[in-house]
Structure 1
Amino acid sequence: MNNDFDFEAFKQAAIKGLYEGKPLTGEGGLFAPLLKHFLESALEGEMSHHLVQTRLPEQNRRNGKTSKKVKSSAGLLDLQTPRDRTGSYQPQLVPKRQVVLTPQLEQKILSLYGMGSSYADISQHLSEMYGYSLSDSELTAITDKVIPAMREWQNRPLESLYVLVWLDGIYYKVRHEGRVVTRVLYSVIGLSLAGRKQVLGIYTAESESAKFWLSVLTDLKQRGVEDMLITCVDGLKGFDTAIATVFPAATVQLCIVHQLRNSFRFIPDKYLKSFVKDIKGVYQASDREQAMEQLLLVQETWGQRYPQAIQPWLDKWELLSPYFDYPAAIRKVMYTTNTVEGYHRQLRNVTKTKGAFPSDIALQKLVYLVIQNLQIKWETTTYNWKEILAQVSIIFTERIQPHRFD
């Protein structure tokens, strides 16, 4: 045990330093020697306890010390950590490979990272606040600590039924084998029977495909999802087949907003206002029959000049029109993937300064931290949920009953 610390000398030096205007914490702070003494004394105490536990069976004993630099609120400390002969001693107060002393400071770093701050920004913040900075590798070691929690979250059990599930993809740049490649982050948001939205998982792949979506849906089922009442997706070919393979009873609704955007691409700007007025009569119709009548009129007016804007509506009508079978309150939440697109906008707000991510794990790690912040906001129930739930409970009585909670 290190008991040779001169408290009286420390006190005199600290008093003198205060009069000279020296800081209490940070690089060269007055408290640094005292903190170093306390930590080294505690580590010596840990070693003494460890030797009592191991000496008889292993004839273990002390074997010198190792020097370790640790960054703390009192500045950079050079700690002398004791070693034992067998190498079985594992420091508890300052574990091996820990570069930052306080968990609170690590949490601050994770919080800054989760809000989109770059490693350079975080290092500058630490320098301004605490008088020292961390290298990119040290910051990576800290942010990597969320990976086990992320894996646990990714594999967590899910609810057995979701009233509505939105599925869509968002593209990012990731460095892979020395070059920058495109990655798709697959987004799945579920609306539970409690009326709360949840991000169900994080998945990345080289491109968006119905085959990969099939693997995503299979993963959701393996994690406990037994039924999805309604799904809303973009126009990816084969998406509906992938959903029907895993959740055959689910209603598949193609996003109306996606389809509108695709159509607008083929209409000249000078005619766009007139086209929007006509097509609005389709998706805002009171029922499916009226919508089809209006669509045929739109085809008659615009179809010959701009077939690429109209023909997809006819080809995909069976997947674009299911929302007409539901009351207005349900229609409002199922006709578009705006919910997941809003989530994507929030991701972009955090990731827009990142450029290319160094790896898929780096991308997933940041998205996971954003989701944890976002989930706090999603604790409130969906707008008009009582009316929606009442309608859903009548329409899907038999499918909901096994999953109801009291």
Structure 2
Amino acid sequence: MSIDKDLLDRLMEGRSPGDLFGKTGILAEPTKALAERALSTEMDVHLDEERGEEPPEGQNQPPNRRNGRSQKTVTTDSGKVVLDIPRERNGTFDPMLIAKYQRRFPEFDRKIVSMYARGMTTREIQGHIEEIYGVEASPSLISAITDAVMEEVTAWQNRPLEPCYPIVFMDAIRVNIRSDG
């Protein structure tokens, strides 16, 4: 998928190059718009599913519908973004994109785990995240994220091994041969 050049020109109009990728860069706006659009679509699907269900016998409940929005600050790869999360009257909506009580996009957690897997300490990860993304993440937050996946890592390390693993070694020798002298 390619992005229309006219759209890019309109987005960059009146902005300096430093405004494009900084903490308050241009990426925050489309991230916010896309996330809010996805959350709104999730709400539509949720309400449609509830309308399809029949209420329990003897209960005549009014139909569930939208009931405003609440703001939530979410940490993304490009910094912090304030999202307007849709609400509904019954309070049964649990978004999948950013679940209740979640304050970071899932990609952000994966990056922290990958840095930890490469042997970086929590303080080094904290400094790296603050330097690159401009987000202050405490060492306790980083530890909590890595501890959350540690159970899965331990289970994978202790899994039963297969009786046979095929291994293929490939070797090659490159020789330059001069012909004609």
Instruction: Output the TM-score relative to the length of structure 2.
Output: 0.69
- 2:148 counterpart of 1:145: yes
| Per-residue deviation, 1:44 | 0.8
| Other-structure match for 1:85 | 89
Does structure 2 retain, via aligned residues, the 8 Å contact 1:26–1:132? no
SS of match in other structure, 2:37: helix
Q: What per-residue deviation string (whole Å, max 9, x for no partner) do you get for residues 54-92 of structure 1? A: 135363222332221111122210111112222221111
| Other-structure match for 1:15 | 13
| Per-residue deviation, 1:13 | 5.7
Runs of 4+ in 1 over 4 A off after TM superposition: 8-13
Q: Describe how 1:322-337 pairs up with structure 2 within 5 A.
A: none
Q: Describe how 1:2-401 pairs up with structure 2 within 5 A.
A: 12=10, 14-17=12-15, 20-55=16-51, 57=55, 59-103=63-107, 105-150=108-153, 152-153=155-156, 156=159, 158-159=160-161, 194=164
Which one is further off, 132-141 or 73-82?
132-141
* Structure 2 letter corresponding to 1:54: E
* Structure 2 letter corresponding to 1:65: R
Work out the number of aligned pairs and report it.
155
Are the structure 2 counterparts of residues 10 and 83 from structure 1 closer, same or farther at C-alpha, using a change threshold of 3 Å?
Answer: farther
SS of match in other structure, 2:69: strand
Does structure 2 retain, via aligned residues, the 8 Å contact 1:25–1:130? no
* Structure 1 letter corresponding to 2:127: Q
| Per-residue deviation, 1:117 | 1.9
Q: Greater share of strand residues, 1 or 2?
A: 1
Q: Structure 2 CA distance, aligned partners of 1:50 and 1:151?
A: 36
Q: Structure 1 CA distance, aligned partners of 2:102 and 2:34?
A: 17
Q: Greater share of helix residues, 1 or 2?
A: 1
| Other-structure match for 2:174 | none
Are the structure 2 counterparts of residues 73 and 113 from structure 1 closer, same or farther at C-alpha, using a change threshold of 3 Å?
Answer: same
* Structure 2 letter corresponding to 1:77: V
Q: Structure 1 CA distance, aligned partners of 2:106 and 2:25?
A: 16
Specify every segment of 5 or more residues in structure 2 that has no aligned partner in the other structure, as ranges. Answer: 1-5, 56-60, 169-181
Q: Percent of aligned pairs with the same residue?
A: 34
Instruction: Output the TM-score relative to the length of structure 1.
Output: 0.34
SS of match in other structure, 1:121: helix
Q: Structure 1 CA distance, aligned partners of 2:136 and 2:46?
A: 34
| Per-residue deviation, 1:154 | 6.2
Q: Structure 2 CA distance, aligned partners of 1:151 and 1:63?
A: 43
SS of match in other structure, 2:21: coil
